[in-house]
Structure 1
Amino acid sequence: MPKIIVTEGQWILKGIQQFEQGGIDQLVIEKMATSLGCSKSSFYWYFSSRSIYIRKIIELWREQTTQQVIAASIAHATADGRIMDLLTQMFGTTKRGDFLFYLRKLSLKDDAYLSILNEVEQMRIEFMNQLLVQKGMQPENALQKSWMLYHYYLGWYERHKHETLSNETVQQHIRMSWTEWISI
């Protein structure tokens, strides 16, 4: 039987999938190795410890779910276009798992993860704040609305995370967000 080579990236992506399904309790190296079709020794080729592995999982998640979303939104020429793109990405994606929930749970035990969680959430709120200021909203009002919109999204995602939403439902939430928090 040929030896299966699994890359560091494959291990990290598998870790993201597992973490969002049950947090660090789902990061069982033997089970993940079996799922990847390799031996667990390949894990130790890339990661000297489980804590380093967890850190890399969280770093990639941060990049994929925050920095890439921001980068994609920046591509639009107008503040309105950026806001609409961001809202579409926020409300248009469900069934991602509970990564943020499990990161919040992990952050209660380890201040390093609390720092990452706070940084991610602050980055998200600040990006919306910048967009609202670019749109012409007063900075203090923009920050308050950004905070409210982000926390609304957290509750909304928790409520809808197991559903596949129609485009009409997504557009309804976007229109509501625009009317309630964004229009000036």
Structure 2
Amino acid sequence: MDMVRASNRLTADDWADAALVALEAGGLAAVAVEPLARDLGATKGSFYWHFKNREALIEAAVLRWERRGTEEVIAAIEDARLDDPVERLRRLFEKVIEHGATHRIETALAASADHPTVAAVLARVGRRRIEYVTALFEAAGFAPAPARHRAVISVSMYYGMTHLAATAAEALPRTREERKALVAAALESLLA
């Protein structure tokens, strides 16, 4: 992992990104200051310039993941300004299936769910995702309770995709056409 920055002026975000790479590759135990400093071509002093301790780095990393994996995804769907809530659902499903098929960070975080900071962020992310998808199903015409049920199923499907990506990637659709067919089948069952 050659992450040395040309300027050698690392930011807190650089450290958080490196922590996420380490977390994805080796779990929470892999988020250690000395190996990260070596990978970044930095000193431990650089780390302590930005963070009080390892726990502060873990918090920064999972907050960065939360922003990228939830808030930025939701913002991208909203920024598309699609009037049809079913089309917004379709776009969301396509985006998260693509994400689930290519990223293992969610699985690594789930394996660290006993860590207080990770647990709090995972819980908040789960709630936020369910709330957003519930709102989309409500906009598609479902009453609040059935909309929430469909949202819970939808988010559970995504978590299942991330698990499959980590454990049985060959079971996942490989082409764009296969992913579109999977999205169509999922939406057909959820919109019935």
How far 1:100 moved relative to its partner?
2.2
TM-score of the aligned structures, taking structure 1 as reference length: 0.89
**1:96 aligned to 2:100?**
no
Q: Against the structure 1 CA distance between its residues 13 and 3, is the aligned structure 2 distance closer, same or farther, given a 3 Å change threshold?
A: closer
SS in 2 for 1:102: helix
What does residue 178 of structure 1 align with? Answer: 187
Q: Against the structure 1 CA distance between its residues 116 and 3, is the aligned structure 2 distance closer, same or farther, given a 3 Å change threshold?
A: closer
Q: Against the structure 1 CA distance between its residues 22 and 36, is the aligned structure 2 distance closer, same or farther, given a 3 Å change threshold?
A: same
Distance in 2 (alpha carbons) for counterparts of 1:109 and 1:37 = 28
Q: Which amino acid aligns with 1:138?
A: A
What does residue 135 of structure 2 align with? Answer: 130
Match of 1:15 among 12, 16, 19: 19
Q: Percent identity?
A: 22
How far 1:22 moved relative to its partner?
2.0
Distance in 1 (alpha carbons) for counterparts of 2:177 and 2:24 = 27
**1:74 aligned to 2:78?**
yes
Q: Against the structure 1 CA distance between its residues 3 and 152, is the aligned structure 2 distance closer, same or farther, given a 3 Å change threshold?
A: closer
Match of 1:27 among 16, 25, 31: 31
TM-score of the aligned structures, taking structure 2 as reference length: 0.85
Number of aligned positions between the proteins: 180
Is 1:3–1:38's contact at 8 Å kept on the other side of the alignment?
no
How far 1:152 moved relative to its partner?
1.7
Distance in 2 (alpha carbons) for counterparts of 1:113 and 1:27 = 13
SS in 1 for 2:28: helix
Distance in 2 (alpha carbons) for counterparts of 1:3 and 1:103 = 31
How far 1:21 moved relative to its partner?
1.8
Aligned-residue RMSD, C-alpha: 2.0
Structure 2 segments unaligned to the other structure (5+ residues):
1-5
SS in 2 for 1:51: helix
What does residue 164 of structure 2 align with? Answer: 159
